[in-house]
Amino acid sequence: MKTFANTNARTLDQAIKTIQQAGKDGQTASLVGGGSDLLGLVKEFIVKPDVLVNLKTIKGLDQVTPAAGGVNIGGLITLDSLGSHPLIRSQYTVLAEAAETVATPQIRNVGTLAGNVCQRPWCWYFRNGFPCLKNGGETCFSVIGENRFHAIFGGGPSYIVHPSDTAPALVALDAKFRVVGPSGERMVPAAEFFVLPRQDVARENVLAADEVLAGVQLPSASPGRRSTYNKVLDREAWTHAVVSAAVVLDMDNEICKSARIVLGGVAPIPWRLPSVESILAGQRITPELAAKAGEAAIAGAQKLSKNGYKVSMTKALVRRTLLALVTRA
Ligand SMILES: Cc1cc2nc3c(=O)[nH]c(=O)nc-3n(C[C@H](O)[C@H](O)[C@H](O)COP(=O)(O)OP(=O)(O)OC[C@H]3O[C@@H](n4cnc5c(N)ncnc54)[C@H](O)[C@@H]3O)c2cc1C
Ligand code: SF4
């Protein structure tokens, strides 16, 4: 591990100024929440910061605060606190369920919501320091190499999948991300926060190096809302989604007024399915309609040499998640 200095930021302003000062001094700085992702990258020399800016020392950024028109969630809230928060559990169930599927209790106790959303890819080549596109090289080794866990939608020139469990839930809930930087604050819709490799292969989101994800804002949940997060793993714990589905249904008795369906584990960004949502709008969700939705969910999927199983898994997951949600008491 390369040696680095640690700075405990007391305010967002101080965190941003520390990053800027590092830049002026010809150094690099990395933000750190729980460190459960970043420190692994530092240990493997994938990220080589001179300065770590610890955000957990900023007071008040770990709260859930009801607000007019919804709720504000601080980016430094731990996944454990988020998953067990009564308001999130009752009104934003999909987010609570997503948070509680992450990794292990130990990681959920330190890992933060912002760190979860901003974690780097877990592609084997990237994490092991291969000189691929994400590591500043000129090729993607997964195209002809190991690609069992790679993208079936939106891939190229890198085929990573976005690893965050909370990100599909936040897109499904129509969240806005509060981004704070040197020139102030901006609110970015969750769906516009994530960046495809074909837009910029070096990064996964729109954050500039001197910007901080300070929190998220969720709009009020409508009466009749039901939501859930369903995640398929290749083992029982400790790992990312092979495929996941965040589903939000606004119901009027047994009729689905509107739906939002966002997949995880299948694309370099949380992958929304607008065509499936329109099949469901205004309909009673029967087993036949859920099967039709599952079929529509895989339209346009492009498999690599070893990840074709994800196509049938996605179809089944969408169908089963819809049926489970409409029959949930
Ligand atoms: C064994 C293991 C299993 C895992 N399983 C899962 C899983 O099942 N699902 C899942 O989603 N994740 C998983 N993770 C990934 C990750 O550790 C967790 O998602 C965790 O939530 C990351 O949060 P953190 O606060 O520890 O992030 P950190 O490690 O502190 O930061 C992660 C990244 O985000 C940046 N960052 C942190 N905070 C901010 C901020 N406020 N603004 C801007 N950038 C920021 C950092 O610079 C870094 O690049 C796993 C990790 C491990 C080691
Ligand atoms: S999928 Fe992305 S991270 Fe993995 S080898 Fe290809 S370029 Fe690198």
Q: Write out pLDDT tens, residues 14-60.
A: 999 999 999 999 999 999 999 999 999 999 999 999 999 999 999 99
Q: How confident is the model at residue 2 (pLDDT cuts 50, 70, 90)?
A: confident
Q: Which two tokens stand for residue 180?
A: 């704070």
pLDDT at 28: 96
Residue nearest to atom 4 of ligand 2 (CA): 123
pLDDT digits (tens, 9 = 90+) for 80-133: 999 999 999 999 999 999 999 999 999 999 999 999 999 999 999 999 999 999
- 162-184: b (≥16 Cβ within 10 Å) or e: bbbbbbbbbbbbebbbbbbbeee
CATH of domain 225-326: 3.30.390.50
Q: Of the ligands numbered here, which is closest to the C-alpha atom of 215? A: 1
Q: Where in the chain is the domain with CATH 3.30.390.50?
A: 225-326
- pLDDT tens digits along 164-192: 999 999 999 999 999 999 999 999 999 99
> For a pocket test of ligand 1, which of 13, 36, 243 has the largest count of ligand atoms closer than 8 A to its C-beta?
36
**CA distance linking residue 29 with residue 34, whole number of Å:** 16
pLDDT of residue 235: 82
Tell me what pLDDT residue 328 has: 82
Residue 110 Cα, ligand 1 centroid: separation in angstroms? 9
Q: Name every residue whose Cβ is closer than 8 Å to that of residue 309 and which is 6 or more positions away in sequence.
A: none
**CATH 3.30.43.10, the chain: domain bounds:** 1-58
What Cα–Cα distance (Å) separates residue 200 from each residue in 197, 205, 277? 5, 9, 28
Specify the domain boundaries for CATH 3.30.465.10 within the chain: 64-119+160-219
CATH placement of domain 64-119+160-219:
3.30.465.10
CA of 47 from ligand 1 middle (Å) equals 14
Is 174:219 a contact under the CB 8 Å cutoff? Answer: yes
Question: Mean pLDDT, to the nearest integer, of 210-223?
Answer: 96
Pairing of strands 5-8, 176-181: unpaired
Q: Taking all residues of the chain, what is their mean pLDDT, rounded to a whole number? A: 97
Mutation pick for ligand 1 pocket among 61, 102, 108 (CB with most ligand atoms within 8 Å): 102
Q: In this model, does residue 63 exceed pLDDT 70?
A: yes
Q: Which-ligand-closest: CA of 49?
A: 1
* Ligand 1 atom nearest residue 165's Cα: 11
Q: Using CA positions, which residue lies closest to atom 50 of ligand 1?
A: 103
Query: How much distance in Å is there from the Cα of 58 to the middle of ligand 1?
Result: 18
Band (329; pLDDT cuts 50, 70, 90) = low
Angle at 55 between CA 48 and CA 67, to 5 degrees: 140
Whether ligand 2 lies within 6 angstroms of the CB of 177 is answered as no
Question: For the whole prediction, is pTM greater than 0.95?
Answer: yes
| Residue 1 clears pLDDT 90, i.e. is over it | no
pLDDT of residue 236: 75
- CA-nearest of 311, 223, 296, 308 to 261 is 296
Q: Where are the beta strands (DSSP E) in 11-119?
A: 29-32, 51-54, 64-67, 70-74
For the chain, the first-to-last Cα distance in angstroms comes to 51
- Per CATH, the number for 1-58 is 3.30.43.10
Query: Which bound ligand lies closest to the C-alpha atom of 75?
Result: 1
Q: For residue 221, what pLDDT is reported? A: 93
| 68 vs 291: which has the higher pLDDT | 291
Q: How far is the CA of 253 from the centre of ligand 1 (A)?
A: 39
Segment 251-280 shows an average pLDDT of: 97
Confidence class of residue 283 from pLDDT cuts 50, 70 and 90?
Answer: very high
pLDDT (tens digit per residue) in 134-151: 999 999 999 999 999 999
pLDDT of residue 220 exceeding 80: yes
Q: Choose one of 122, 133, 304 to mutate for the ligand 2 pocket test, by most ligand atoms within 8 angstroms of C-beta.
A: 133
Percent of the chain at pLDDT exceeding 90: 96
What pLDDT is attached to residue 246?
98
pLDDT for 272 equals 98
What is the C-alpha separation between 273 and 290, in angstroms, rounded? 14
